[in-house]
Amino acid sequence: MSDPGRAGGPAGKQEGEPAGEQAAQAQSYEAAAARVEEIIRRLDSGEASLSETLALVSEGKALIELCASELSAVGDALEELRLDELVSRLEEQAAG
């Protein structure tokens, strides 16, 4: 029986690719954030073995980097929208 706290762990790891990086690929921000919470709960339980702890920390790091990247992209898109709105308002004022 598999441990639900290890979902997305190193089982399907590709050669040369760290387990955490593979787990972070193709996940939404929401799914990644939820998995990070699961990882934290598992680590906080104190029940993880040393090797499981290492795998969870690696996976968590990759997921946190994914989340940070997603947040940065959203922030950049919002900034771009604000700049576009500012340009539109300035053009309207100049024409009006």
What is the Cα–Cα distance from 6 to 32, expressed in whole angstroms?
Answer: 13
Domain ranges of the chain: 17-95
Ordered DSSP codes for 31-49: HHHHHHHHHHHHHHHT---
Distances (CA, A) of 51 to 8, 21, 55, 56, 91: 15, 17, 6, 9, 60
What is the token pair recorded at 3? 């441990």
Q: pTM for this structure?
A: 0.63
Count CA atoms within 13 Å of residue 55 on its CB side: 18
Q: What is the pLDDT of residues 18-74, one digit of tens each?
A: 555 555 556 799 999 999 999 999 999 999 999 999 999 999 999 999 999 999 999
